[in-house]
Chains A and B, each alone.
Chain A
Amino acid sequence: MMLEIDNLEVAYGAVRAVKGISLNVAQGKIVTMIGANGAGKSSTLRAISGITRTSGGRIRFDGRDITTMPAHKIVALGISQAPEGRMIFANLTARENLAMGAYLRRDTEGIEKDMDYVFAMFPKLKDRIDQPGGKLSGGEQQMLAIARALLARPRLLLLDEPSLGIAPILVRTIFEKIVEINRELGTTILLVEQNARMALSIADYAYVLETGEVRLHGNAAEIASDDEIRKAYLGER
């Protein structure tokens, strides 16, 4: 397993956001975490990236314990994230935001190539490249956040609700791009989504979270056809 999470716990003061989640991500796969608002999905991603302190459990990447590793070292190991709320540097241009994504890389040519790759993927970004990140629209910021995470050349890409705040016509595009990243670059992806239907349609494996716990997990197709899931998350009756 590329990523192994055992009994992860995250708490904010008295609020127990994650209460012993165990989750695995195999190399080359798209794994999705779905669940209602407040289920603990973002907390889990933040714990993996090391920007939230864990209060219990273990996180291993390539068999190596990264539970208490500082965030910047986790990036160096090959995990990058397009976080909830996008976290674009509003005071930096789009180009500088991308450059920060590639902060740890020294291969100037490789970075140039990857810039071209993300421009081909999100042509709109190219037009906005010298604008301050804060001036970009929500959709553009989302693309920038994904592109920026890609510029780290991660082996594991964490995506936190990439479809949030995106115009409905763009949502499909974003999901197509996620599949493209996985297929073309071979990047393993852990995808958090509110849009469960979309997420399940592109994922190999799925975890359903409920109030900080894994309620159910299995092949995405199985989860998608589970009666209760269809009622609770896919809006079917």
Chain B
Amino acid sequence: MNEPVNPEGRADSASGRITGELDLISASLQGDRRAFETLYTRHIGRVFALCLRMTGDKRRAESLTQDAFIRAWSKLATFQGRGEFGAWLRRLAVNVVIEDARRRKRERGAEIIPFVDQGLPTRGSETQLHEERIDLERAIADLPRGARHAFVLHDVTGLRHHEIGRLTGLATGTIKAQLHRARKLLRENLNRKGGSRDDT
């Protein structure tokens, strides 16, 4: 009577990481915190990156990342398995960030994020590329909030207009306008930075 309910959920280590992930989710659902910690370890980088880029504020990103995982724990039962767990988790994180943004009438000035110190991956010795990336991250952090959200969700995360609309409750037209504005501001900002780097 007590055999696992998952009818085909044999402990099949050969089927690799994804199966392992579902085992971890099942275990977490039964209250296993170590299993949930493993899920956390696997997904923290992407969730934090999303929160960091959407807020442009390291401290708040840390706190919202924690909120997102706590919410994931309590809502794990609603994960329908109809997609990738990581994607579900990131949607949840976007919701957490957006709710937080709504609660704040005005944001404090965005903290400059020490991306240099965060050990962003570089491709070999392409330091120029690395510098350009840091410039881009900083420029994104400097964007006004609405434009930043649109840009991070669309151009960095790869969500489509209608998905962003569902998450933010904004009309597609508004999202497009914010996205186009973000691109314009970023290009202006980056052209300035690129120019000043060439001068040195």
| A and B bind | no
Q: Which residues of A contact B (CB under 8 A)?
A: none
Give me the interface of B with A, judged by CB distance under 8 Å: none
